[in-house]
A and B are shown apart, each in its own frame.
Chain A
Amino acid sequence: MGHTLLEKVWDLHTVRTLPSGQTQLFIGLHLVHEVTSPQAFDVLRARGWRVARPDRTFATVDHIVPTRERTRPFLDVLAEDMIAALERNCRDFGVRLAGLDDDRQGIVHIIGPELGLTQPAMTIACGDSHTSTHGAFGAVAFGIGTSQVRDVLASQCLALEPMKVRRIRVTGTLSRGVYAKDVILTIIHRLGVGGGVGYAYEYAGDVIARMSMDERMTICNMSIEGGARVGYVNPDETTFEYIKERPFAPGGEAFERAKAWWRSMASDPDARYDDDVEIRAEELTPVVTWGVNPGQSVPVTGRVPAPNGAGGDAQAIADALGYMGLRGGEPIAGTRVDVAFLGSCTNSRLSDLREAARIVSGRRVAPHVKALVVPGSASVKRAAEREGLDEIFRAAGFEWRSAGCSMCLGMNPDKLQGSQVCASSSNRNFKGRQGSPTGRTLLMSPAMVAAAAIAGEVTDVRALFT
């Protein structure tokens, strides 16, 4: 009987079974940012502990950084305090920091892979639920809270319970205009926002095998929106090609040895899964969310559901429609948007910006729409500018910003105002998510966001292909 990647990585990183029955798991890479770490560092300071493995720890700033005016001190005193705290903590505890002016700065889940910090068969932890992104490389990556950040800082370990593995095979061929974002939104819609609790999702099948690393990251990123704390793809040649020659990747002959080991850690062909699901690519279309959780989506050609009947589901639909200001039974296409946001750890990589730029090139953003592009990292920004993507976006009427989490969660000055409707390439359409208590979010692929920006309403991007 073979083993899954999850089982192999778990076994190799197990220190011992704790008296509680949990597994003490060694964490190979700890990524740190300004929002979920200050209280953890304070505990270390109070108890006289050091950071156990500064060499396995890397920090950056992303959640609260302004994306326009970055002069210090920030106008937002609270944000300034948080950045200053992270700078002080990294200095005091010897943690590497890609700070605001560092050319490696960016969203933590974008820069880990970019720098080659993220590698197959590692265990990775970060105080952020989208840490599952790193699973695209065949890493087992956990989103954690601040008390667990404290644990990892102090001991380089976590106390965890074993997980089941659900394999999700995406098979066939995606049609044009259907992207990784549509695949994961469909998976979440079908399996539910709580369907993955207790599971790691292993994404497999020929569609995933043909995907680029950027696309795989989009899929793994949103595992948590389906309830699965961990999502991964088995490492293959695409993975190795991406990692090769990155700053923290093994070089020369070591890279060849690393590849052999990485390959050996992939799930065996005869591995046993706790559950197995198949998604047929031919059935997929561009998808848009209409509600207040990422499972509430319809094909762009579809209609918003009506709250028929009694019971909890009808109540949830009615509640979501009320918040969103939508009427059940209406087509989702044609829903007017006020803001178009291209960004977030889900979809702000170079390939996302290229695809969106292809749509907006030679077109203009609708007059009533505020549109902004927030590249995921300083490096993505530079690469996009080298290709002239910034000029394409600017010419179309988009604002071109600096890297950060930005309007995905509105912790910086980029927020929805009032009950604005936002076409967003981000990951969460929760009530109030984008910084306004009554703001409304429609999740979709970057190309669909670009199309919505141009049309001023939700529209099928496939009609804009030339």
Chain B
Amino acid sequence: MKITRLEGTALPMRGDDIDTDRIMPARYLRAVTFEGLERHLFEDERAGSAAGDRAGTVHPFDNPVYRGASILVVNRNFGCGSSREHAPQALQRWGIRAIVGESFSEIFFGNSLMIGLPCVTASPDEIRELMERVEERPNARLRVDLEAGTCALDGFRCAVMLPGHARDALVTGTWDTTGMLLERYDEVDRVASRLPYVAGF
């Protein structure tokens, strides 16, 4: 499947260093499939938040104004910590189709790419602007164009970055790597045979 342009309403999730334990608490990793994980997204910090917590804050994932959102907007180092793919799996199953942020943890970025969930970056100022605009007008549509490297919302437009290999993989629909890796297995054997610890010291 080729992934070139994504469009939908957005959901701002403020805060740096949001780790994958917060996104998907470890107790929900006790399963042999990824099915149903979306029901537990940010579960611990959402507990009771639908009605507003003590400060009256409603978690963005409980806030009815963001219902149906498909593009997540985040700050710095999103998805840090555990390598659990359950985190991007749950976001995708919830309905997130792309994430726009200041920066991402390397493993989270890779896990997301592996399941066709693009994580693109923009500058901190642009992310702030995006978040403010989304909070003001939650029903505005955010458009992310991977080929052009841009995102646009309500007349606001900015460049978004994606490493070349990731962009190519998504726009050409080759982000499922296993097939590619299996393609020329004789070359794999050749590399293995030159490694002394495989061939024998």
Contact = CB atoms under 8 A, between A and B. Distances in A.
A346 to B, nearest CB: 14
Contacts of A417: none
B177 interface: yes
Given A64-B30, A144-B83, 18 more contacts: A13-B195, A18-B165, A24-B181, A28-B195, A36-B85, A39-B34, A145-B85, A146-B86, A151-B177, A154-B181, A154-B182, A156-B188, A159-B181, A194-B77, A194-B80, A224-B81, A250-B197, A435-B26
Contacts of A1: none
Interface in A136-191: 143-148, 150-151, 154-159, 161
Interface in B1-37: 15-17, 19, 21-22, 25-27, 29-34
Interface string B43-58: 1110100000000000
Interface of A: 12-16, 18-22, 24, 26, 28, 35-36, 38-39, 42-43, 49, 52-53, 56, 63-64, 76, 78-79, 81-82, 85, 119, 121-122, 127-129, 143-148, 150-151, 154-159, 161, 193-194, 197-198, 224-225, 227, 229, 250, 254-255, 257-258, 261, 293, 312, 316, 319, 409-411, 428, 430-433, 435, 437-438
Contacts of A81: 31-32
30 contacts: A14-B191, A15-B184, A18-B180, A18-B181, A19-B168, A20-B174, A26-B191, A28-B197, A35-B29, A36-B83, A36-B84, A38-B32, A85-B32, A143-B107, A145-B110, A155-B182, A194-B103, A197-B105, A224-B81, A229-B107, A250-B197, A255-B201, A261-B201, A410-B27, A428-B21, A430-B22, A430-B81, A431-B21, A431-B44, A432-B44
A229 B32 CA distance: 25
Interface of B: 15-17, 19, 21-22, 25-27, 29-34, 43-45, 47, 75-77, 80-86, 88, 103-107, 110-111, 114-115, 163-166, 168-169, 174, 177-178, 180-182, 184-185, 187-188, 191-192, 194-198, 200-201
A22 B175 CA distance: 11
A411 B166 CA distance: 33
B114 A148 contact: yes
User: A-B pairs with the 3 shortest C-beta distances?
Assistant: A145-B85, A437-B44, A194-B77
Nearest to A40: B85
Contact of B188 (A85, A155, A250, A411): A155
Contacts of A312: 16, 75
Given A21-B164, A151-B181, A193-B80, A432 B22 contact: yes
B25 A432 contact: yes
Contacts of B178: 43, 150-151, 154-155
A147 B114 contact: yes
A79 B30 contact: yes
B21 A430 contact: yes
A424 B83 CA distance: 21
Nearest to A120: B197
Given A258-B201, A261-B201, A293-B17, A147 B196 contact: no
A154 B111 CA distance: 17
